[in-house]
Every structure is written in C-alpha cells, then in structure tokens.
Structure 1
C-alpha cells in the first residue's frame, strides 16, 4: 500500500479516535451537569455505542497504520518520538479500558434510574468521577501524541 494512502488512513482514524473521545466527553459531562436522569440515560447509551463503533476500531487502526508507515518511511523504531508516542498511546489505552467498563455501568445505572423515576445512586457518581479522572490523562496523552507525530522531534 502506498505511504500516502496509509498516512491518510492513519490521520483519518486518529480524527475519529480523538473526535469521538472529545465529543463523548463533552456530551457526557454536560448531560451529567444537567442532573436530568433521562438525558443522562440517553447520552450514556449513545456514548457506549460510539465508543464501541469508533474508538474500538480506531484503537486497532492507529498502531496498525502507524507501524506500517514507520516501515514504509524507514524511520528507526528506536527514535525517541516513536518511543514516546508508543508509551503515551499505551497510557491512553490503559485509561480507555476501564473507561469502557465505567461507561457501561453509567449507562446501566442511569437507564435503571430513568425507568423507575429514581435519582441516580451514589455509585453512579463514584463511577462518573473515576470516568472523568481517567479521561484527563488520556486526553493529554493524545494531545502530546499529535504533537510528536507532527514535529517528530529528534
């Protein structure tokens, strides 16, 4: 496959990965700020769907296209910018795995509360806090990766 095509796929998938993350975080955060249990239930359901549809697929596409571009371009694997990118990507992925579980719990708890007309249980807010805390390092890891990919510092 041509380098330009692989690069385009890499950039496209990074856009889906980062964009889905930012969009999901935005809508989930503001649905929760509203405290409207029905809105939270709807948003959390779609956040889970988006995560599986976009994030899960692009989290595979990113290293696949990235390693192939490294090969095609002849970049040495021991380049510091590549090593740092991989470390940051692993940090972001390590945050994402528990976030997926947390989002499913948030979806289930909010759906149950909305269905019964009950307020969200304390466990919901505990999971939500963990979701926010894990999202912060993942966000900054991806911002740093974008910079490393563009600058390729020596």
Structure 2
C-alpha cells in the first residue's frame, strides 16, 4: 500500500479516536453535571456504543498503520519520538480499558435508576464516575503529546 494512503488512514483514524474520546467525555461530563438521571442514562448508552464503534476499531488501526508507515518510511523503532509515542499510546490504552468497563457500569446503573423511577443515582455511580474522570485526564494528556510527537518528530 502507498505511504500517502497509509498516512491518510493513520490521520483519519487518529481523528476518529481522539474526536470520539473528546466528544464522549464532553457529553458524559455535562450529562453528569446536570444530575438528570434520564439524560445520564441516554448519554451513557450512546457513549458506550461510540466507544465500541469508533474508539475500539481505531485503537487497532492506529498501531497497524503507524508501524506500517514506520516500515515504509524506514524510521527505526528505537527513535525516541516513536518510543515515546508508543509508551504514551500504551498508557492511554491502559486508561481506556477500565474506562470502557466503567462506562458500561455507569450506563447500567443509570438505566436501572430510570427503570425504577429513581431521580438520583447511588453513591457507587458517583464513585465510578470520579474514577472515569481520573482515568480520562492522563489518557487525554497522553494523546496530546502523541500528536505533538507525530507532527514534530523531534530528534
């Protein structure tokens, strides 16, 4: 496959990956700030779907296209910017895996609250939500730095 095509796929998938993450975080955060149980249930349902459709698929596409571009361009794996990018990607992935589980739990707890007619969410929900936020922050920062390394390719 041509380098430009692979690069385009890499950039496109990074856009979906980062964009879905930012968008999901934004809507999930503000649905929770509203404390409207019905809104939280709806938003968390679609955040989980978006994560599986976009984040999971692009999380696979990113390293596949990235390593293939390295091969095509002749970049050595031991280049510092590549090693940093990979390490930060692993960090972001290590944050994302529990986030997916947390989002499914948040979705289920909110859906149950709606089914039972509750207008509040239990303390466990808010504990999970705080953990979700705490894991999202380092993942976001990692992706910002990954973008920097990919664009600047510092020596």
- Normalising by the smaller structure, the TM-score range is over 0.9
> TM-score, normalised to structure 1's length?
0.99
Aligned residues: 154
Distance of 1:60 and 1:130 partners within structure 2 = 24
Distance of 2:70 and 2:7 partners within structure 1 = 10
Distance of 1:105 and 1:123 partners within structure 2 = 10
Runs of 4+ that moved beyond 2 A? none
Distance of 2:43 and 2:123 partners within structure 1 = 19
Q: Which residue of 1 aligns with 2:6?
A: 6
> TM-score, normalised to structure 2's length?
0.99
Q: Which residue of 1 aligns with 2:41?
A: 41
1:115 Cα deviation after fit: 1.3
Question: Aligned pair 1:128/2:129, yes or no?
Answer: yes
SS class of match (2:78): coil
Q: Which residue of 2 aligns with 1:151?
A: 152
Q: Which residue of 2 aligns with 1:61?
A: 61
Counterparts in 2 of 1:32-111, with a 5 A limit? Answer: 32-111=32-111
SS class of match (2:109): helix
Distance of 1:33 and 1:115 partners within structure 2 = 21
Distance of 1:8 and 1:115 partners within structure 2 = 45
Q: Which residue of 1 aligns with 2:139?
A: 138
Where do 5+ consecutive residues of structure 2 fail to align? Answer: none
1:67 Cα deviation after fit: 0.1
Question: Aligned pair 1:27/2:27, yes or no?
Answer: yes
